[in-house]
Chains A and B, each alone.
Chain A
Amino acid sequence: GAGVSQTPSNKVTEKGKYVELRCDPISGHTALYWYRQSLGQGPEFLIYFQGTGAADDSGLPNDRFFAVRPEGSVSTLKIQRTERGDSAVYLCASSLGLFDYNEQFFGPGTRLTVL
């Protein structure tokens, strides 16, 4: 079946603009995760959903970042008033259930560049 897909694959925006990044998880996966990967670093946890609710959003860096998953499937990561420091690859992953022993399947990521 299809894996995790993310759109767009690349996004270039100007400082101060608003962006939305979309994630389509694997069908049937109830858990969905967002990570941010800066150049030369490993992925950094942002937020995860179990169903429609954000089970843990403690990784979001500040209130400019927000994510939703209204129907328990597709998720959107929203960034307001983008800053140059937001430039990174944003990865989405999904799993059958929550963390730990459930394998997370990652999408290819969205590369965000803030000019």
Chain B
Amino acid sequence: TQLLEQSPQFLSIQEGENLTVYCNSSSVFSSLQWYRQEPGEGPVLLVTVVTGGEVKKLKRLTFQFGDARKDSSLHITAAQPGDTGLYLCAGTLRMDSSYKLIFGSGTRLLVRP
């Protein structure tokens, strides 16, 4: 059972369209991160959200952390072919005396010119 459910798993859209990717869990996270991963490379951090209800913007990307810190969304406005890639959400769980970074299964985005 995936602790962090990401949807959709795959998204193919036309350049200029908007899209939203969702990340949901029944667990409360101390923070949530969004990464982008290109083929043959490791994930690269896009943003970290910490406070429930927090909204962060990165150019055409808008990230929101749910009020209860259990879910998050990534919205891309006017998608471009350069946005193509694998988007991963990851939540930080405090367990005993350590932290764990739990990743979702990813959303593979294809933006067609």
- Assuming the contacts A41-B105, A42-B105, A45-B101, asked whether A100 and B31 have C-beta atoms less than 8 A apart, the reply is yes
Interface centre among A48, A101, A103 (most CB of B within 10 A): A101
Pick out which of these stretches binds chain B: A14-22, A65-73, A76-84, A106-114.
A106-114
A41 to B105, CA, bound (A): 4
Nearest residue in B to A93 (C-beta to C-beta)?
B42
Which residues does chain A contribute within 8 Å of B98, judged by CB atoms?
48, 55-56, 98-99
How many chain-A residues does the 8 Å CB contact rule pick out? 26
Which residues does chain B contribute within 8 Å of A35, judged by CB atoms?
103
Chain A binding surface SS class: loop
A13 to B48, CA, bound (A): 38
Inter-chain residue pair count (beta carbon < 8 A): 62
Query: Chain B contact residues (Cβ within 8 angstroms of A): what range?
Result: 20 to 34
Which residues does chain B contribute within 8 Å of A55, judged by CB atoms?
98
CB of A109 within 8 A of CB of B42, answer yes
A106 to B104, CA, bound (A): 16
Nearest residue in A to B102 (C-beta to C-beta)?
A45
A-side residues, CB < 8 A to B, are: 4, 33, 35, 40-45, 48, 55-56, 59, 91, 93, 98-101, 103-109
